[in-house]
Chains A and B, each alone.
Chain A
Amino acid sequence: MTHWPFIAGAYAVALIATFGLTGWSFAAMRRAEREADSLKDRR
């Protein structure tokens, strides 16, 4: 049995989850901070 498909699958799961989470968190942070800044400007 070749082991490389299992290794590739494991790395794909880990990297997609890690960098997907990072991108999602970054986008949510930028959106929330932009919204807070726009309210400050409107004051």
Chain B
Amino acid sequence: MHIFANPTRFLRLARPLTAWLGWCGALLIALGLGWGLFFAPPDYLQGDTVRILYIHVPAAWLGMAGWAGIAVAGLMQIVWRHPLAGVAARALAVPGAVFTFVCLATGSLWGRPAWGTWWEWDGRMTSMLVLLFLYIGFIALADAERERGGEGRLAAIFGLVGAVNLPVIHYSVLWWRTLHQGQSIGLTRSSIDSSMLWPLFVAAFGFSLLFAAVVLMRMRAALARQKVEARMRRMAA
């Protein structure tokens, strides 16, 4: 990671990678969602509603992965003072918040026909809502710190502390057995049939690639803005 401490070296890699990740992600999303919507079988119990799975699960995974990334970037900023760690954390925050919102919205649209309710104060749903609030707090804190010329250490600490919510989300379906279904995909086996699992993997991989492309775009924008600000300061001096 220290190889990319130099923004010029980082940009040399990020420029071609942004387009590749973006286009491959968009293609895989089209393939995964087309497969899930038109070719995967309906569920024997839920019928066609199960097709919401192909967007709900990738959104949940990316909402959580985004915060895990913020926590790792926070650690790198606090311990190693990596110059791009703060930029990466800020670039992860908005996409992470958007996917957390998508997870909550699609879950609500799935819950109405499946459970007969739009919302329930269930452990999994409530902890995901807390994640959305954490993202909003992080964005506000990082922006305020940046405007005051700070290094972003407060936001980094907030990112690390907020990571405590990730195991709560993951284990919520085991700790509180309420409305949300239990874990269907584990590291070694899955209770989902392969006819539904493959389009889910393709869609999740596609959304992940596009997420990475968006993060790179936001990092490139932040670095360009930093360059302009530094140049303006030098010109004014």
Q: What 0/1 pattern do residues 4 to 30 of A give for CB contact below 8 A with B?
A: 101101110110011001100110110
Interface size of A by Cβ–Cβ distance < 8 Å? Answer: 24
Q: Chain B residues with Cβ under 8 A from A21's Cβ?
A: 94-95, 98, 214
Q: Verify A1–B113 contact, CB threshold 8 A.
A: yes
The distance from the CB of A29 to the nearest CB of chain B, in whole angstroms, is 4
Rounded to whole angstroms, the CA-CA distance of A32 and B98 in the bound complex is 22
Q: What 0/1 pattern do residues 61 to 91 of B give for CB contact below 8 A with A?
A: 0000000000000000000000000000000
Residue of B nearest to A36 (CB): B224
Q: Chain B residues with Cβ under 8 A from A33's Cβ?
A: 220-221, 224
Q: What 0/1 pattern do residues 193 to 232 of B give for CB contact below 8 A with A?
A: 0000000000000010010011001101110110110010
> Which of these, B29, B101, B113, B227, contacts A36 with CB under 8 Å?
B227
Once A10-B110, A25-B218, A29-B220 are accepted as A-B contacts, the answer to whether A36 and B102 lie under 8 Å apart by CB is no
- Residue B55, interface by CB 8 Å: yes
Rounded to whole angstroms, the CA-CA distance of A33 and B49 in the bound complex is 43
Rounded to whole angstroms, the CA-CA distance of A28 and B29 in the bound complex is 23
Rounded to whole angstroms, the CA-CA distance of A14 and B225 in the bound complex is 29
Once A13-B109, A25-B221, A29-B221 are accepted as A-B contacts, the answer to whether A7 and B52 lie under 8 Å apart by CB is yes
If over half of B's interface residues share one DSSP class (helix, strand or loop), that class is named, otherwise mixed; here it is: helix
If over half of A's interface residues share one DSSP class (helix, strand or loop), that class is named, otherwise mixed; here it is: helix
- Residue B22, interface by CB 8 Å: yes
Q: Verify A22–B213 contact, CB threshold 8 A.
A: yes
Rounded to whole angstroms, the CA-CA distance of A13 and B221 in the bound complex is 26
Once A18-B102, A18-B210, A36-B224 are accepted as A-B contacts, the answer to whether A11 and B217 lie under 8 Å apart by CB is no
Q: Which residues of B contact A (CB under 8 A)?
A: 22, 29, 33, 37, 47-49, 51-52, 55-56, 59, 94-95, 98-99, 101-102, 105-106, 109-110, 112-113, 207, 210, 213-214, 217-218, 220-222, 224-225, 227-228, 231
A-B contact pairs, 29 of them (CB 8 A): A3-B47, A3-B113, A6-B52, A6-B109, A6-B113, A7-B49, A7-B109, A10-B105, A11-B33, A13-B105, A13-B106, A14-B106, A17-B98, A17-B99, A18-B207, A21-B98, A25-B95, A25-B221, A31-B221, A32-B220, A32-B221, A32-B222, A32-B228, A33-B224, A36-B224, A36-B225, A36-B231, A39-B227, A39-B228
